[in-house]
Structure 1
Amino acid sequence: MDVVLSKSWLRPLLFVPMGLVVLAGVLVEVLKPLYELPSRSGIVPFLSMSYEGNVPTFYTAALLGLTSLLLALAAAATRRAGERFVAHWWGLSAGFAYIAVDEVFEFHEMAGTFVELSGVLYFSWVIPAAVVVLLVGLVYVPFLRHLPLRTRIRFLVAGAIYVGGAVGMELPLGYWTEQKGMHNLGYGLLDAVEESLEMLGINLFVLWLVDHLAEKGVTLRFANPAPEAPAEPAPEAEAADAP
């Protein structure tokens, strides 16, 4: 039996886990000061979106990894169809694979250790990140123009939501951190907004990327393995059974 992963199944598979992760993360941030929950161990560092190496981190990393695989499928489908911009699809796939690894190991934080700034640029890594986003955007202008209008708009919306969270929200978060520090409810809620926007942007991109793949004749399906054919008796055995 083949099961095609339709939109009616894909939406809850994407957005229900996201909703649970976000809800749990916000809940522990609110309960932490109310019930004086420990910050270094227990449920807070396990579920909070302000911490790393926990449930939200690995959920986002897995989502980014899935996106990278889907983009690789898009690259293969584009190449098979003999269309242009195969390298651009592979570039996106590699980029999302890197972001997935960075989500766990936080390589981007190192870019903020070379220059110490203040205010909204307290997290100074946003400067090289913004430059990279701008350069990638310029390189991908022909690629975006080549896409169907609906797909182009969808990808731009998903990208704007993701970048708005990953880079844009670092500005008010940096200002708050400099003024109030990290160990407070305000920081936790701002960081929750940032992480939620990232998750939303990725989930929308995955949903719309699957639509694009379907238009290219690529559908996601799960199939039961074919049953093994019964083994035929060896000739020697058949001869032995003959009268």
Structure 2
Amino acid sequence: MSDDNEEKSPWEFVVSPVKITRFLGWVVFALILAHILVQAYHFHINELPWLLREIFDPDEEPSFATWFSTLILFVSSVLLFLIASNKEKWNYKKHWYGLGAGFAFMSLDEVAGMHETFNTFTDFAWTIPAAVGVVVLIAVYFKFLVALPQPMKSQFIIAGLIFLSGAL
């Protein structure tokens, strides 16, 4: 942060978590509403082409919902890398970089559908190795999580639980 007398950098800006959350909530609401309206029109008024139904279906990979999810994961990755690069004297800088890399990988997986491809090569579900990975991540990131200030610690835990419940 700069003093009032200092000139602010053009790269310095304030982010409102409440406004971002509200905006993202409205986007999710719009995606769900569009899906419901397309399905209602298709089944009750006039049959629509599969492509039109597919791009509004959140359960399909080539859809607006997948694009939105990929974008959110990628932006999260960029922000995590920025946080890591700004943590000069913090002991957990590598953890922030690790989170950035993890979110970049999840963004790539979301758009490339790597977990679907993995399922075609194996007889077991991808959730088994993913569950092992989650246990390893918890072990590696436990001290990092404990060191986070409140309310960030609680927010990380809640976000992680919501994300994992959605992945199942």
Shift in Å at residue 38 of structure 1? 4.0
Shift in Å at residue 26 of structure 1? 3.5
- Cα 1:135–1:7, aligned 2, differ >3 Å: closer, same or farther? closer
Shift in Å at residue 4 of structure 1? 3.3
- Cα 1:137–1:37, aligned 2, differ >3 Å: closer, same or farther? farther
Shift in Å at residue 19 of structure 1? 1.5
Q: Partner letter of residue 33 of structure 1?
A: F
Fraction of identical pairs, as percent: 31
- Cα 1:26–1:129, aligned 2, differ >3 Å: closer, same or farther? farther
- How many pairs are equivalent? 158
CA distance in 1, matches of 2:47, 2:76: 35
1:110 and 2:117 are equivalent in the alignment: yes
Matched with 2:3 is: none
Give the conservation status (yes or no) of the 8 Å contact 1:75–1:87. Answer: yes
1:34 aligned to 44, 48, 66, which one? 44
Matched with 1:180 is: none
The structure number with the bigger radius of gyration is 1
Q: 1 or 2 for the larger relative contact order (CA 8 Å, sep ≥6)?
A: 1
> CA deviation digits over 1:168-220, x for unaligned, max 9?
2xxxxxxxxxxxxxxxxxxxxxxxxxxxxxxxxxxxxxxxxxxxxxxxxxxxx
Give the conservation status (yes or no) of the 8 Å contact 1:71–1:90. Answer: yes
CA distance in 1, matches of 2:49, 2:141: 42
Matched with 2:95 is: 88
> CA deviation digits over 1:76-117, x for unaligned, max 9?
121x2x011111100100110111111111101122223446
Structure 1 unmatched ranges of 5 or more: 118-123, 169-243
Matched with 2:5 is: none
CA distance in 1, matches of 2:151, 2:15: 21
SS at match of 2:50: coil
CA distance in 2, matches of 1:32, 1:133: 40
Give the conservation status (yes or no) of the 8 Å contact 1:25–1:48. Answer: yes
Matched with 1:235 is: none
CA distance in 2, matches of 1:23, 1:63: 19
CA distance in 2, matches of 1:165, 1:116: 22
1:14 and 2:24 are equivalent in the alignment: yes
Shift in Å at residue 30 of structure 1? 4.5
CA distance in 2, matches of 1:154, 1:74: 16
TM-score, length of structure 2 as denominator length: 0.82
Shift in Å at residue 31 of structure 1? 4.3
Give the conservation status (yes or no) of the 8 Å contact 1:111–1:128. Answer: no
- Cα 1:130–1:37, aligned 2, differ >3 Å: closer, same or farther? farther
Mapping for residues 52-63 of structure 1, pairs under 5 Å: 52-63=61-72
What is the alpha-carbon root mean square deviation over aligned residues?
A: 2.2
SS at match of 1:41: helix
Q: Partner letter of residue 73 of structure 1?
A: L
Matched with 1:5 is: 15
Matched with 1:151 is: 152
